[in-house]
Amino acid sequence: MQLFLPLIIGILFSAGFYLLLRRNLLKVILGIALVAHAANLLIFTMGGLKTTRPPIIAESKKMIEGLVTDPLPQALILTAIVIGFGVQVFALILARRLYQQTGISDINAVKNSDVNTEQVEKDGSL
């Protein structure tokens, strides 16, 4: 696990940033999702990796004994996953709406809001 997880995180980050730099709207959003997953896994590893040591108090005891897995990062990423899921779904719907309204799927063509109003009206693309 010590070697495996950093590798996975690295692959996810590089794949995510590669996709973020693509021009296709959908790929960019997939890139966001991959980067978010990589970030979540990174938080997970920051709690330290221990197997078969759940942070549960045995029935007869009053306190946790010995070294156990840190439960906080897991609680954090659970929150982050849920938030990330909601926001990514919103981004997907927005991309679909953008495609429906303008027929654009190339991110370089998304520039109407970047130029002056007058120019857009002259081009007739508004």
Rule CB under 8 A: say whether 30 interacts with other proteins: no
Rule CB under 8 A: say whether 74 interacts with other proteins: no
Rule CB under 8 A: say whether 39 interacts with other proteins: yes
Rule CB under 8 A: say whether 76 interacts with other proteins: yes
Rule CB under 8 A: say whether 59 interacts with other proteins: no
Query: Which one, 60 or 81, has the nearer CB to other proteins?
Result: 81
Rounded to whole angstroms, how far apart are CA atoms 28 and 97? 15
Rounded to whole angstroms, how far apart are CA atoms 44 and 37? 11
Paired tokens of 51: 């197997």
Rule CB under 8 A: say whether 12 interacts with other proteins: no
Burial 21-57 (b: 16+ CB within 10 A, else e): eeeebebbbbbbbbbbbbbbbbebeebeeeeeeeeee
Q: Spell out the residues 6+ positions from residue 2 whose beta carbon is closer than 8 angstroms to its own.
A: 49
By residue count, the chain amounts to 126
Least Cβ distance, residue 6 to other proteins (angstroms): 12
Applying CB under 8 A, the residues found at the interface with other proteins are 20, 25, 28-29, 32, 35-36, 39-40, 42-43, 45-47, 72-73, 76, 79-80, 83-84, 86-88, 90-91, 94-95, 97-98, 101-102, 110-114, 116-118, 120, 126
